[in-house]
Structures are given as structure tokens and as C-alpha cells.
Structure 1
Amino acid sequence: MKTTDARTRLVGAMVDALQRRGLHGSGLTELLAAAGAPKGVMYHHFPGGKTELAVTAIGATVARLCHSLDQALDAAPGDAKDPGAALMAWVGGAQQKLDASNYERGCPLATIALETTAADTAIRAALADGFATLRARIAAALVRAGYAEAGARAMAALLVAAYEGGLLQARVAGNPEPMSLVRDALLCVLNSGALKGATK
């Protein structure tokens, strides 16, 4: 077993565990078994143990979300790359993945954020950076589409909050209706241009 492969498996096992059970619902023994890695290999790659592994999993999740967002934006029609349809496709893709998991696998960012305490400084910092990265990526696309910078930041914050909240509600409901309502509402806001010219 190559250690680099073990590291990738460990991160994947943590992402999956966060999606399904959260940080505190996932034991170290369970994570090691899912990754097929001995404890020594884990501490070789993650000297900080479970916390460091969780921080790395958060970074991997943010990178994946940014990649899927970039793909949706690149696929948007037209030279201006109007982000409305791309953003809705991005949200819809998350809904489809949740449905495919029989509503067991939510967004790991929201799951771990809800169970952190003030003592979880490294995890909270990683989450804050991750959410900021997503907001910045969305805001940049909105600015390219003609939004004022302040309006783009506000719309990006709304979209990320609705994305996470919609997934959470759909997961506990066990059906797609909450996420579908979120998509419809976001599309209305985007089409109305209500925040497009916001300057404060």
C-alpha cells in the first residue's frame, strides 16, 4: 500500500464520515478501517490526528465544490457567461447527489460547522476560510456578469447560505422539496437583479 494512496483514502473516509455522521459521530477506528490504513500511517500524514485530518477534509471539500462550480460556469452559454443558470445547475447538482445517497450524505461543511465549539479553533478557521473561498468564487463570477462588487458579495453570501440551508432541510426531510424551493427563490432574486447594482 502506497502511503500517498493511504493519505487520499484517509481524507476520503473523513469526508464521507462528515457527510454521514459528523465529526464526533465518527470514531478513529472506524475511519482507519474505512481507509484501510493503520494508525501509524495516519499519524505520519496527519500528526495532529483526527482534527488535522478533518481540516484537510474541509479543504478537499472546498476544492471539490469550487471545481464543480467552475465547471458549471464554464459550461454556461454566451460570451458574458451569465452565472444564473450555472449557479442553479451547481445547486441542482448538490441536490441530485443528496437524493442519490438516499438523503444520508449532506454537505460536510455544514455538518461539521453545526457541531463545532469554541475550542475547535483550527476547524472553525478552516470552515471560515472555506466559506469565504466559495463566496469569493461566486462573487467574482457575478462581477464578470455585471454586478457591482458589493451586490456580488451580498448575492454570493445569500447563495452559499441558501445552498447549505437547503441541503440541510432536504436531508432531514428526506425529500427534495426544500432544495427545490431554495432554487426557485434564488433564481427569482438573480433574475430580478435586486442586488445587482447594490453599492453598500
Structure 2
Amino acid sequence: MADTLQRKGLHGAGLNELLAQAQAPKGSLYHHFPGGKSELAVAAIEYIGQRTDSFFAQLFREHPDPLRAMQRWLDNTLQQLEGSRFERGCPLATVALESGPEDVEIRAALAACFSRLRQTLTTQLQGVGFNTDSADSFAHLFISLYEGGLLQARVAGSGEPLQRASAALFQLLRDYPRETRHDQ
């Protein structure tokens, strides 16, 4: 489901296609997910959040400088996007754009996942001297830039929109004053 959401979105994901990919009978879907496609989407969003948490944990271990880690995340995203011929965007954004007010559970799962992403980035930025408010604001800005830049890159069939926006943000982050840490 996570892969299908990334490629086709919630409404583009047909149940028959999902069942064929899972090699599962139709009855098993409703047995495990009585809420149908919506409940399956929530489970996929939660899975994506867990997978992203694991990815970030590894990424920040490998690159203790959060700016380098964030750049690596963008590089990985662009490689995946280009490798898919600009078909595979962010599954969270794809579902978010399709969701409506009636999709309460889906929107709650999306909000929680985006919040986890921002909190992870906030914590990492605080670790290199950004105060709490600045770190939180930059985490919000980065996630917004990531989602908007990825969307524009998919539409343009080019990584340039995401590359240019991220280059500007990283320059801003490098030049932004940081707190002097007295405990070091």
C-alpha cells in the first residue's frame, strides 16, 4: 500500500491492484482492515512514519551534522524521483492532497507523521546550537520546502525546483546565528 500511495495516491490505488500486489484474497483485506481502503491507508501512513524514523536515526548517526543529513535525505529523494521517471513522490503529500474533511482518520495519521518528522529535525537542529524556536521554525520550513519542491519536481520532470529551493534554505541555515553553548 505504501508503494502504491507513493506512485498513485489514495484514489488511484485500486483494491484489486493492492490485493494482487499483496497476493492476498479479497476477504483477507476486510478481515484485517474492516475499515477498508481508508484503514489500510492509515496503516500504510503509520508504516511510512516508522520507516522514516528508522531512516532518520541511521541518517543522523552517519551524518552528525544535521544540514549534511538533511542534504543527504534530499539527494536520496531526488535519486528515487529521477529513477522512477518522476512517478514516485512523497506518499504523505500524495494522500494529503487527495484527502477531504471526511477523511478524519487519514488526516490524523498524516498530521502525526508530519509532526514526527518536524520533531526529529527540531531535535537535530537544537543539537548544533539552534534555539528551540528557530529549530522548530526551520524544521517546519524544511518539511514545507521538501513537500513543495518534490511536488514541483514531479510536475516539471526535473529535480531543479527542489535543488534550488534547498540550496537557498541551506545557505540561510548556515548563515543563521546560533546560540553559544556554554556547556561544551
TM-score (norm 2): 0.92
1:156 aligns with 2:117: no
- Identity fraction in percent: 48
Q: Which 10-residue stretch deviates more, 67-76 or 151-160?
A: 67-76
Partner of 1:193: 176
The partner residue of 1:184 within 149, 155, 167 is 167
Moved over 6 A (4+): none
SS at 1:146's partner residue? coil
Partner of 1:5: none
**For 1:109-149, what per-residue CA distance to the aligned partner results, in whole angstroms no more than 9, with x for missing partners?**
00000011100000000000010000001101111111111
Q: RMSD in angstroms over aligned alpha carbons?
A: 1.3
Structure 1 position 44, deviation (Å): 2.1
1:52 aligns with 2:52: no
Structure 1 position 82, deviation (Å): 2.5
When residues 94 and 57 of structure 1 are mapped into structure 2, their CA distance, relative to the original with a 3 A threshold, is: same
1:68–1:90 contact (8 Å) kept in structure 2: no
What is the correspondence of 1:1-200 to structure 2 with a 5 Å cutoff? 14-76=1-63, 81-193=64-176, 196=178
1:69–1:87 contact (8 Å) kept in structure 2: no
Runs of 5+ unmatched residues, structure 2: 180-184
Structure 1 position 29, deviation (Å): 1.3
Structure 1 position 151, deviation (Å): 0.7
What is the number of residues matched between the two proteins?
179
**For 1:134-177, what per-residue CA distance to the aligned partner results, in whole angstroms no more than 9, with x for missing partners?**
00011011111111111110010001111111111111111111
Q: Which 10-residue stretch deviates more, 24-33 or 110-119?
A: 24-33
Whole-Å Cα distance in 2 between the matches of residues 176 and 23 of structure 1?
24
Whole-Å Cα distance in 2 between the matches of residues 109 and 164 of structure 1?
9
Whole-Å Cα distance in 1 between the matches of residues 169 and 57 of structure 2?
19
Runs of 5+ unmatched residues, structure 1: 1-13
Residue identity in the other structure for 1:62: G
Structure 1 position 182, deviation (Å): 2.1
SS at 1:145's partner residue? coil
TM-score (norm 1): 0.85
Whole-Å Cα distance in 1 between the matches of residues 121 and 26 of structure 2?
39
Q: Which 10-residue stretch deviates more, 59-68 or 102-111?
A: 59-68
